[in-house]
Structure 1
Amino acid sequence: MTVIDVRKDPEALTLTFVAEFDAPVEQVWQVWEDPRRLERWWGPPTWPATFVEHRFVVGGRSRYHMTGPEGEKARGWWRITAIDAPTRLEFDDGFADEAGEPVDEKDVTHAVVTLESTDVGTRMTTVTTFVSLEQLERMAAMGMEEGMREAMGQIDAVLAS
Structure 2
Amino acid sequence: MNNNLLFDFTVDKTAKTVFITREFAAELPLVWDAFTKAEILDQWVAPKPWTARTKHMDFKVGGKRFYAMVSPEGQEHWSLQEYTSITPKSNFKMHNAFADKDENPQLPGSVWDFNFSEENDITKLSLIITNESLERMEKMIEMGFVEGFKMTINSLEELLTTLSKK
TM-score (norm: length of structure 2) = 0.89
The yes-or-no answer on 1:128 pairing with 2:141 is: no
Task: Give 1 or 2: higher helix fraction.
Answer: 2
The yes-or-no answer on 1:145 pairing with 2:146 is: yes
Task: Report the alpha carbon displacement of residue 3 of structure 1 after superposing the two structures with TM.
Answer: 6.6
The yes-or-no answer on 1:62 pairing with 2:65 is: yes
d(CA) in 1 for partners of 2:64 and 2:129?
18
What's the counterpart of residue 36 of structure 1? 39
Match of 1:84 among 83, 87, 106: 87
What value does the CA root-mean-square deviation take over the aligned residues? Answer: 1.5
SS of 1:154's equivalent in the other structure is: helix
Give the unaligned 5+ runs of structure 1.
Answer: none
Query: Partner amino acid for 2:119?
Result: T
Give the unaligned 5+ runs of structure 2.
Answer: none
Listed one character per residue, the Cα deviations across residues 49-107 of structure 1 (whole Å, up to 9, x for unaligned) are 011111000000111001112221111110001100101010011111112232x2x32
Task: Single out whichever of 58-67 and 117-126 deviates more from structure 2.
Answer: 117-126
What's the counterpart of residue 156 of structure 1? 157
Match of 1:17 among 6, 12, 20: 20
What's the counterpart of residue 73 of structure 1? 76
Query: Partner amino acid for 2:28?
Result: V
The answer to whether the Cα contact below 8 Å between 2:108 and 2:133 also exists between their aligned partners in 1 is: no
What's the counterpart of residue 50 of structure 1? 53
Task: Single out whichever of 151-160 and 24-33 deviates more from structure 2.
Answer: 151-160
d(CA) in 1 for partners of 2:20 and 2:144?
14
What's the counterpart of residue 115 of structure 2? 114
Classify 1:3/1:50 alpha carbon distance in 2 versus 1 (closer, same or farther; 3 Å). farther
Query: Partner amino acid for 1:153?
Result: N
Task: Report the alpha carbon displacement of residue 12 of structure 1 after superposing the two structures with TM.
Answer: 1.6
Query: Partner amino acid for 1:148?
Result: F
d(CA) in 2 for partners of 1:76 and 1:136?
15
4+ aligned runs moved over 6 Å, structure 1:
none
Q: How many residues align?
A: 159
d(CA) in 1 for partners of 2:54 and 2:14?
33
Structure with more relative contact order (C-alpha pairs < 8 Å, separation 6 or more): 1
